[in-house]
Amino acid sequence: MNLPVATSNDPNDPRNWSTAAKVTTYATICLFSFIANVNGSNFTVAIVPLVKHFHVTSTHATFLVAFNVLMFGLGNILWVPLMRVLGKRPVYLIALAVFVAANAWSTRATSWGSLLGGRMISGFGAAAADATVPSVVNDMFTVEHRGHCMMFFHFALASGIFLGPLINAWIVQLHGWRWSCGFIAITGGVIFLMALFLIRETQYNKERRTYEENEIPAARSYTGWLGLTVGYNNDKPLKRFLRTFWDILRMAVYPPVLWVGCLVGLFVGWTIVIQVTTSQTFTKPPYSWKLGYVGVFSLSGWIGVVLSFFFGGMLIDIIANRMRMRDPEHILRPEKRLIALIIPALLSPVGLIIYGQCVARQTSWVGPAFGFYSNTWITNDGLQEVTGTMAGIQWALLALAIPFYFLSVKILDLTSSYGPQKRLKESAVEGTK
């Protein structure tokens, strides 16, 4: 079902903010997203020194990455409902404070359990820089520009994933693994101070409408935006929190949400797996690299991030906007953007196969750098079979875009029959009466 997009002439509506207000708010949030993902990858290049320091197996050492990423995903089950009640500014400030404290704790951890706890809590704090951000984009930008604007967030997120190992590898090599947490704590502290003065509340709790000339609300002052209650929704806050929490759980079984979650999890998950195993592979013969150069290896992935800024953002907007011009009756048809998945379908699985083949045959680093890789599975079945299997799984998941594209109306009708979408549909029907 397609609903008309409401317009507003309220100067306090985030979509009517000045460019400077939008840029400073969004850029600061994207910086948080960047360092949050650097945090997620900070121990991917430190497996060997952690094994030696704590006398654990390499499998146990990877728990520091795995459980951090797990909390990074699960944390939003709480941050998103809290955001719906308190607003976005308080959530970002609280999350940044938790993030900085957890990384400071990690630098002083003396036991394996203490360090694992610090990494899990830092992942929880970092989670607020992930799933909440698309809502910020929706708050500030109209539908014609969201694809491109979302790419700034994805660029920050992916840069953290791929530049994080580079930064952390040199820090670990030169100063030890504790300072990889110390660097993140310091950087997070700087971003916290920036957030205090630059992140405005983007949550708009009013109905968007056009006011008469003499009814337009007065513009809020700069200091007025720095309050912590601007986005607070006092309409049954506990009920709103619990309902949002329950909605998230129910939305997880919507076919489009489940599919996208599996797709993103597969691609990001194998990126993390490669980073974890790369430090073990390339520090051994025949490569015998120092740890810092293993970090440089991750630049190959970042090059793809740079290229995707156009192909994953502006191209999607171009496709969607042209489709809307041809078919104005279906202005909000989201499946039109799926056409852009042709690009990762051609590149990613092939790259995975190239990586596995090149490392298995111990070719020059150029092959695996531009080509993906899990310890037990690889040991048992061999790198060639593992990467081939994962490439097949990627193609299978990407192929599901075809039925989602052609059956989108039926699928969306299905999702409108249960869960939060049913409630939105009923509210829309009531609003038209």
Mean pLDDT, rounded, for 322-349: 69
Query: Which of the following CATH numbers is that of domain 14-205+223-431: 1.20.1250.20, 2.40.50.100, 3.60.21.10, 3.40.50.720?
Result: 1.20.1250.20
Q: Which residue has the tokens 């850029």?
A: 27
Please say if the pLDDT value at position 279 is more than 90.
no
Pick from 211-215, 236-240, 246-250: least confident: 211-215
Mean pLDDT, rounded, for 143-170: 86
For position 393, what pLDDT does the model report? 80
Percentage, residues of the chain above pLDDT 70: 82
Cis peptide, bond prior to residue 403, ω within 30 of zero: no
CB contact at 8 A, 145 and 23? no
Please say if the pLDDT value at position 353 is more than 50.
yes
Write out the two tokens for 421. 């979408």
CB contact at 8 A, 128 and 91? yes
**Is the model more confident about 249 or about 322?**
249
Pick from 58-67, 176-185, 404-413, 419-428: least confident: 419-428
SS3 per-residue string spanning 265-326: HHHHHHHHHHHHHHHHHCCCCCCCCCHHHHHHHCHHHHHHHHHHHHHHHHHHHHHHHHHHHH
How much is the pTM? Answer: 0.81
Mean pLDDT, rounded, for 327-349: 69
Percentage, residues of the chain above pLDDT 90: 37
For position 108, what pLDDT does the model report? 94
CA–CA distance, 269 with 238 (Å, rounded to integer): 34
Pick from 154-158, 218-222, 300-304, 348-352: least confident: 348-352
Please tell me the number of Cα atoms within 13 Å of 24 on its side-chain side.
15
**Is the model more confident about 262 or about 362?**
262
CB contact at 8 A, 251 and 419? yes
For position 426, what pLDDT does the model report? 73
Confidence at 232, pLDDT banded by 50, 70, 90: very high
Domain boundaries, given as residue ranges, for the chain = 14-205+223-431
For position 344, what pLDDT does the model report? 76
Length of the chain: 433
Of 211-215, 280-284, 303-307, 337-341, give the range with the top mean pLDDT. 211-215
CA–CA distance, 336 with 405 (Å, rounded to integer): 7
- Sign of the CA dihedral 360, 365, 369, 371? negative
Pick from 39-53, 89-103, 205-219, 281-295: least confident: 281-295
For position 193, what pLDDT does the model report? 97
Residue 404 to residues 57, 173, 265, 407, Cα–Cα distance (Å)? 43, 47, 18, 5
For position 192, what pLDDT does the model report? 98
Give me the amino acid identity at 137.
Answer: V
Pick from 19-33, 44-58, 203-217, 287-301: least confident: 287-301
Confidence at 363, pLDDT banded by 50, 70, 90: low
**Residue 330, SS3?**
helix
Give me the amino acid identity at 158.
Answer: A
**Residue partners of 397: CB distance under 8 A and separation at least 6:** 259, 262, 263, 266
CB contact at 8 A, 198 and 96? no
Of 34-43, 146-155, 334-343, give the range with the top mean pLDDT. 34-43
**Residue partners of 143: CB distance under 8 A and separation at least 6:** 5, 331, 332
